[in-house]
Amino acid sequence: MSLIEIERKRALEGREPLEQRLKQSGFVATGPMVEVDTYYSRPDVDFLVTVECLRVRERDGGCEVTYKPASDSTTHSTAGVIAKQETNVALANVAQAVHAHALLEALGMVRLARVEKSRTSYRLSERPELSVVVDTIAGLGAFVETEIVSEGSRQEAVRQLEETERLLGLSSHPVVTSPYRDLLLSARANEDAVRAPAR
């Protein structure tokens, strides 16, 4: 059975209260680290419409290419839980990113957006499949993603995700269903509209 990543993203007003609760609950932090994600689409299929993901991720000491399939009613629940199989290709080092970009562009892929974030991942030693990721996205603000990687029951994974959110007091924070890529493109379009001269 393939591993499925099950996650839900929520907006935060600030990171500090949540990070304090995570530490009090026994979560151990990794990071923060800076990640730069460059997103691509096919020339004949708009990944913004299909909500597919093809990205090159660069971070200190590493680089990977990731693909996530298109979204539909089986991958997105009405409660904002996303369950998708990820295909990740880890490259030798961050210097390989330039070759990954060149390969995708040689294949005719269209560059969509570049998302820069500061990311801290929190984990419990006894629950390696569970992570709580706190992000600050340049131009957008702070977010939290609760993630479970599972090859078992999706229903049980969602139950564990919801239990973790309750433990951390996240249930009142607004659910965000759009990828960071889409949020950033929308924010930039709004800024451009505001700056555009009146006709």
Q: Look up the domain containing 111 and give its range.
A: 4-194
Question: What is the domain-level CATH number for residue 115?
Answer: 2.40.320.10
Q: What residues does 30 pair with on adjacent strands?
A: 121
Q: Is residue 127 domain-resident?
A: yes
- Among candidates 94, 97, 117, which has minimal Cα distance to 105? 97
Q: Is residue 44 domain-resident?
A: yes
Q: How many domains does the chain have?
A: 1
Q: Is residue 32 domain-resident?
A: yes
**What's the rounded mean pLDDT across residues 58-78?**
91
Q: Is residue 199 domain-resident?
A: no
Using 50, 70 and 90 to split pLDDT, how confident is the model at 199? low
Q: Is residue 170 domain-resident?
A: yes
Q: Which two tokens stand for residue 174?
A: 């607004």
Residue carrying structure tokens 């904002």: 80
Please state the pTM of the whole predicted model. 0.89
Q: Is the pLDDT of residue 197 over 80?
A: no
pLDDT at 196: 67
Tens digit of each residue's pLDDT (9 = 90 or more) over 164-184: 999 999 999 999 999 999 999
Q: How is 135-176 classified by DSSP, letter by letter?
A: EEETTTEEEEEEEEEESS-HHHHHHHHHHHHHHTT-TTSPEE
Q: Is residue 138 domain-resident?
A: yes
